[in-house]
Structure 1
Amino acid sequence: MTSFMPRALNRTALILFPAFDWCISPTHPEREERLLYTRDQLIEEGLEDVDNIVFLNPELASHADIDRVHLCAPSSHKLLTESHLISAGATLRVARAVMDKEADNAFAIVRPPGHHAMQTVFGDRGFCIVNIEAIMIEYIRRHYGVKKIAIVDTDCHHGDGTQDIYYNDPDTLFISLHQDGRTLFPGTGFIRESGGPAANGYTINLPLPPNTGEDGFDMVMERVVMPILDEFKPELIINSAGQDNHYTDPITNMNFTAQGYARLNQRLNPDICVLEGGYSIEGALPYTNLGIILAMAGMDYSHVKEPDYDQARFRQPEEMTKYIAGVCDKALEVFENRGKSKEEALKKKVVSERKNIFYDTTGFNVDEVRQYHLCPDCPGFTEVTATSPRARIHAYTVPFNACPTCQRTARDLFGATQPIPQTITALQDRVADIYETK
């Protein structure tokens, strides 16, 4: 690599926050060293001296920012450390940089990550406690009035938490490119997971076979991601920029490269990137993060290559390419049929869904039932009951795009619900920006 950098074409804002005071254990893959080599690489490359690349400081998210998105047991105050508030706060800071036109785009290179954090939170799962992208998105909607947002999750693990939070929201397009859930945590992210009754077809999962390489990711971007984004026409594109698809990652089985990540980012052209996974501390992250930054800044990234990079070794077998083409076709069919099932679902008025959520770090399960109260004028509101060995949540949650009737009905149901011992009874109303418990 070279130390010479021309002026960036795009004004790109960066926040780099390694969270020195938080880790699951000193040897855990998700620890402070994840970003220290990246920091050193960016300094070595001279990015701090490049005109139009701006380094910003993170800030603390408030507990109101957390509670706008999550239903935490026993509370966000008791579950989160300062590091989690700074990681989430960094996404708010880069969001403001883009929305206030301080920058053309921005990248929050932070930890702890967040895309496995569901709407209900009882602790840490998949290295995540709160969903930093969702916290950022709802902050943007609250303060800037943005409606249609697309999230493209390129982490090797399925973004099950982000999917969960936006499953019944037709104004949030969620696309996840990930290693097939039959072979990797969290064991979800299949094509049939396509959205709730008011938003069927707005969740697009692309489960890719182990050892997928540059050709496979290029195909998915060209055939599925970009055409769907062109048709959806989001006001903002968010990249959950997990980098554990890299061929050196110790806990996954993919065959992607720094060049591939940079090319993907150049094609996607996101407004905001937020770092998620990526656990090859020396072999991948310094190269992948640098490649993504240069692509965002509109600079040449052709020199960003791992020491053992050889394009020939990353060619995938023809049979794998055919299989991925089939995944693409099925995913496009999901989007083409979006919204067609809502009319039938409206006849039921309330649609129930039950699932089991495994908290891998602490080893317990949560039984969760969702009742989608549907409405012909909006996505409706959701009643959530989640039970864990630690606590129970019973909540009414109103999305940002709910109509006044659904907002009022949810509040009335909350008011009529009698408190139960060991149960957090909550109203989460994003229209009024209210979070109440009893």
Structure 2
Amino acid sequence: MLRARNKTGLVFFPAFDWAISPTHPEREERLLYTQDQVFEEGILDIEGIIEYKPDLVTKKDVQRVHFCVPDLWAVMTESHFISAGGAKTIAMAVMDKQVDCGFALVRPPGHHANRVVHGARGFCNVNIEAIMIEYIRKAYGVNRVAIVDTDCHHGDGTQDIYWHDPDTLFISIHQDGRTLYPGSGFLSEMGGPNAVGSTINIPLPPNTSEDGILHVIREAVLPILEDFKPEIIVNSAGQDNHYSDPITNMNFSAQGYAELTTLLKPDIAVLEGGYAIEGALPYVNAGIILAMAGMDYSHLKEPDYNPERIRQSPEVNRWVEKVCKKVLENWYKRRQLGEMARGDNRFIERDRKIFYDTDNIYERQHETLRVCEACGGALRIDSEAQERKHILAIHIPRNACQDCHDQGLAWYEEADADAYDKVYLQDRAADVMKEKVKPA
């Protein structure tokens, strides 16, 4: 009998009752073909590969991460509770040492969902990785977490949630935002004033192949992870870098994904995008599973795989090498850059415009951050979306210092409930969510 070198947990949830439309790329067939392949190849018969059934996340699990407008039930369907719950189930199996590592093959996906949620962006309503991470932080006392997002699209939602968190390293490897949704994820996006360097974006040109992406992992990602020393590594395992994906322009392969997984050694992987339902996903997912299990995947190839056809050009080689050098330069200068970003300011403000492409909503945010060298800083977000609620969202970070905790409470107490449809206080230090509603 075949035996996995690493005991590996799997969760499948295809979400039969949730699809943007019957023919949309984000539909249940994305996982059904993979599930069939896993069964047909006998992967679940391998000793040490264990299937778990997804549990649901709770309202409190979601509220550790999101401000849902107008409320949780307007944003999430049952499938979203189960999808996030599948990630949580795998995380618990890993943290309880039932398995060495685990892969949540679930949908709907989540990495485009921001901290404030008025609707769906990039097929994402809530951020399932962030919900999972904040659960294990509360339940198991985990502090330093690294998230490596290998989806072809920039993980802008995960970036937003952890923009001000110095204890979360977010690395996104993606197709250049000038050529692909959501149009963000540039080298200059390095994290908020209290957490400069904790966000790392690695934009790559169209037609980057496995040579380029694996070069990024070896030459930039692994040295940074070694320096950061996370307690847990989470892979947002998007698969739309594949050469056959219908909505992207990259040239990665199933072998490349398996090798990436071997190099990265994630404790937990969570499925994100990937829309070549028959030609890529069954092979890529099988490769990731075998790599996590520490098994041979050298025989795994797509029927039409031709390495010469997808080989990247010398120009792409030079681009990738240049990006890696700049990423490392920024990483080693992060403290100096952070001091420059903070300056002598007590508070720093920024304005943002956010488009919800799935629901066609425009949101305007005005953000105020308390500058702090001891924690991520108290955060105040004034958010309004067209024909939606106008809310004030106040976030007190998990490891808040006393000054930032007091500032967050003061903002909440001073907020005029008449001026907003709802005022939220997300007090992570006390693990509570409070709300004030406009009087009738």
After TM superposition, the score normalised by the length of structure 2 is: 0.97
* Structure 2 residue 234 is matched with structure 1 residue 241: no
Name whichever of 203-212 and 356-365 sits farther off: 356-365
Q: Identify the match of residue 146 of structure 1 among 138, 142, 145.
A: 142
Tell me the CA shift for residue 340 of structure 1. 2.2
Q: Distance in 1 between matches of 2:228 and 2:3?
A: 33
Matching residue within 205, 208, 225 for 1:209: 205
Structure-1 residue corresponding to 2:251? 255
Q: Does 2:321 correspond to 1:332?
A: no
Give the corresponding residue for 1:360: 357
Residue 372 (structure 1) aligns with: 369
What letter matches 2:241 in structure 1? N
State how far apart, in whole Å, the 1-side matches of 2:188 and 2:231 are.
26
Is the CA contact (8 Å cut-off) linking 1:73 and 1:391 kept in structure 2? Answer: yes
Query: Whole-Å Cα distance in 2 between the matches of residues 279 and 401 of structure 1?
Result: 38
Q: What do residues 228-283 of structure 1 show as CA deviations (whole Å, max 9, x unaligned)?
A: 00111100000000000001111111100000000000000000000000001000
- How far does the alpha carbon of each residue in 1:386-429 deviate from its partner, in whole angstroms, 9 at most, with x for none? 11011122111011121133112211220121103552210001
Q: Which residue of 2 aligns with 1:398?
A: 396
- Over the matched positions of the two proteins, sequence identity in percent amounts to 56
418-427 or 391-400, larger mean C-alpha shift: 418-427
CA distance in 2, matches of 1:349, 1:340: 18
CA distance in 1: counterparts of 2:420 and 2:279, whole angstroms: 47
State the one-letter code of the partner of 2:135: Y
Q: Is the 8 A contact 1:198 1:339 kept in 2?
A: no
Task: Give the SS at the match of 1:58.
Answer: coil
In structure 2, what is the Cα distance between the partners aligned to 1:412 and 1:368? 20
Distance in 1 between residues matched to 2:114 and 2:183, nearest whole Å: 15
- The question of whether the paired residues in 1 share the 8 Å contact of 2:166 and 2:375 is answered with no
User: 2:51 aligned with 1:89, yes or no?
Assistant: no
Distance in 2 of aligned mates of 1:360 and 1:186: 9
Q: Is the Cα–Cα contact under 8 Å of residues 365 and 384 in structure 2 kept in the other structure? A: yes
Q: 2:163 matched to 1:167?
A: yes
Deviation at 1:339, TM superposition (A): 2.6
What SS class does the counterpart of residue 309 from structure 2 fall into? helix
Q: Secondary structure at the match of 2:417?
A: coil
Look up the SS of the partner of 1:407 in the other structure.
Answer: helix
1:9 aligns with 2:8: no
Conserved 8 A contact 2:4-2:293: yes
Letter in 2 for 1:198: N
Instruction: Name the structure 1 match of 2:63.
Output: 67
1:346 positional shift: 5.5
- Counterparts of 2:389 and 2:102 in 1: how far apart (Å)? 38
Deviation of the 1:302 alpha carbon: 0.8
Q: Which runs of 4+ in 1 moved over 4 A?
A: none
- Give the Cα–Cα distance (whole angstroms) in 1 for the partners of residues 256 and 373 of structure 2: 43
Which of 301, 304, 307 is the matching residue for 1:308? 304
Give the letter aligned to residue 80 of structure 2: H
- SS state of the match for residue 420, structure 1? helix
Q: How does 1:264-303 map to 2 (within 5 A)?
A: 264-303=260-299
**Given the alignment, which residue of 148, 171, 177 partners 2:173?**
177
Q: Distance in 2 between matches of 1:374 and 1:421?
A: 26
- Give 2:406's aligned amino acid: R
- Letter of the structure 1 residue corresponding to residue 54 of structure 2: P
Deviates most, 369-378 or 211-220: 369-378
Q: How many residues align?
A: 434
Structure 1 residue ranges without an equivalent (≥5)? none
Secondary structure of 1:312's partner?
Answer: coil
For 1:261, give the aligned amino acid.
Y
SS of corresponding position for 1:211? coil
More deviation, 72-81/281-290:
72-81
- For 2:97, the equivalent position in structure 1 comes to 101
Are the equivalent residues in 2 in contact too, given 1:346–1:374 (CA < 8 A)? no
Match of 1:416 in 2: 414
Distance in 1 between residues matched to 2:401 and 2:343, nearest whole Å: 15
Equivalent in the alignment of 1:385: 382
Alignment partner of 1:224 is 2:198: no
Q: Could you say which residue in structure 2 is the equivalent of 1:434?
A: 432
User: Separation in 2 of the partners of 1:429 and 1:343?
Assistant: 27
Task: Say whether the 8 Å CA contact 1:63–1:77 is kept in structure 2.
Answer: no
Counterpart CA distance in 2 for 1:19 and 1:162 is: 22
Paired residue for 1:119?
A: 115
* Alpha carbons 2:33, 2:278 under 8 Å: kept: yes
Task: State yes or no: 1:425 paired with 2:423.
Answer: yes
Q: Which 5+ residue runs of structure 2 have no aligned equivalent? A: none
Q: TM-score of the superposition, structure 1-length normalised?
A: 0.97
Residue of structure 2 equivalent to 1:351: 348
